[in-house]
Amino acid sequence: MPLLPDFKLETHFSKWEFSARYHMTASDAQSMTMAELLDMATSEQRAAYDNLWLGYTETFGDPALRDIIAGLYHQMQRADILCFAGAEEGIYIAMHALLDKGDHAIIVTPNYQSSETIPLSICDVSAIALDPEDGWSLDIDVVSKAIRPNTKLVSINFPHNPTGKVLEKERFDALVDLCRRHGIWLFSDEVYRGLTVDNKPVSQAAADAYERGLSLGVMSKAYGLPGLRIGWIACRDHTLISKMERMKHYLSICNSGPSESLAKIALLNADRILERNNRLIASNLGKLKALFSEFEDLFEWYTPDGGCVCYPRYKGADGVETFTRNLVEQAGVLLLPASLYHSDLSATPDDRFRIGFGRANIDEGIAAMRSHLLRNHS
């Protein structure tokens, strides 16, 4: 396996995520304590957790957990679900299971770096840039023109990181039809599925819509439980599921038993958790809109469709890289500048930054950011 390039976003986080006073670029929804999660459990679930045998677990994932995950979709059964140690393992394994040297893949940009670097380490890759002038949507005609005889995979991410775009149903349906006509796999990163803005429809799952669709899910983002390190892929092709399971033998082998037990409790309370997180998102978005309206000469704000991150434009003469560096060093407010979403395959905006709005206690970060702006940009 070729050595992968430095993961710029995660390297940036390793420096600042736990040292910056105000983490205003978090990509996950508000988490909870063990006590809060266990308080949602029935007496039987709590007893099962307390008496859990700490041995190896099944490589495919706990059968009961896979049943619960399958219930999040319309057409999935237990056999259609393979669990992973977080979403990153799922991305890594899926790309290696689907792609070979000599294949061609299509991805969208900007995107989470591994969605580009992992397939690029295997085969030829083309990028389709999402256009802010088109509401960050995916141009299906451009995707169609990028298809080659050896195109094996189209990889998408909606609700999108970092823009918060949810692909319109007509465009999603057109993409599925396009992939079906060409026999192309559709890998869909859906880790924000369930987080909505202004009660907009939840994006459709690729695994439900398409027989060669893969839906990536995780406890980390919409459910706000990244510490569990539980992710999954839903897919109706059992030959591919089996191939990915065998690859998992070389990585995590199996998931954490306590994490699987806690994930079952959380997912059985999924509606309750998502309702809480969506209420928080709505409140936080209002606060961010007010902040950026106050400094509209410096920022171009928009309201995203879903998820809990957004990608506003910075208009200041100092540039977004200088602005975000000074903001974290002088005010302790962490944002992600556009350079961390750079692509080697297509042009990406250089005047944007990612801000998160899924966590509680955003007021302190907003106050610190506002004070910094008043001191330095009045």
From 222, 247, 268, give the residue that closes a domain: 268
Among 143, 140, 147, 192, residue whose Cα is nearest residue 168: 140
Residues 189 and 223 in one domain: yes
The pair of structure tokens assigned to 361 is 């206690």
pTM of the model: 0.95
Residues 213 and 96 in one domain: yes
Burial of 220 by CB count in 10 Å (0-12 exposed, 13-18 middle, 19+ buried)? buried
What total number of domains does the chain contain? 2
Query: Domain containing 364: what range?
Result: 8-33+271-376
Q: Is 46 a domain residue?
A: no
Residues 264 and 275 in one domain: no
Residues 121 and 220 in one domain: yes
Q: Is 186 a domain residue?
A: yes
From 268, 293, 326, give the residue that closes a domain: 268
For residue 341, give the 3-state DSSP assignment: helix
Q: For the CA atoms of 328, 329, 332, 334, what is the dihedral angle to 10 degrees?
A: 20
- CB crowding 116-126: b at 16 or more within 10 Å, else e: bbbbbbbbebb
In contact, 154 and 186? CB cutoff 8 Å: yes
Q: What's the CA angle centered on 159, arms 298 and 336, to 5 degrees?
A: 40
Instruction: Give 108's DSSP letter.
Output: E
Kindly report, residue by residue over 206-260, the tens digit of the pLDDT.
999 999 999 999 999 999 999 999 999 999 999 999 999 999 999 999 999 999 9
What rounded mean pLDDT belongs to the chain? 95
Confidence at residue 13, expressed as pLDDT on a 0 to 100 scale: 67
Residues 82 and 208 in one domain: yes
Percentage of the chain beyond pLDDT 90 is 91
Kindly report, residue by residue over 74-105, the tens digit of the pLDDT.
999 999 999 999 999 999 999 999 999 999 99
When pLDDT is cut at 50, 70 and 90, the band that residue 1 belongs to is very low
Parallel, antiparallel, or unpaired for β 124-129 and 151-157? unpaired
CATH number where 340 lies: 3.90.1150.10
Confidence at residue 82, expressed as pLDDT on a 0 to 100 scale: 98
Adjacent-strand bridge partners of 218: 231
Residues 277 and 261 in one domain: no
CATH number where 129 lies: 3.40.640.10
Residues 93 and 228 in one domain: yes
Residues 250 and 302 in one domain: no
Adjacent-strand bridge partners of 188: 156, 215
Instruction: Give 335's DSSP letter.
Output: -
Residues 231 and 256 in one domain: yes
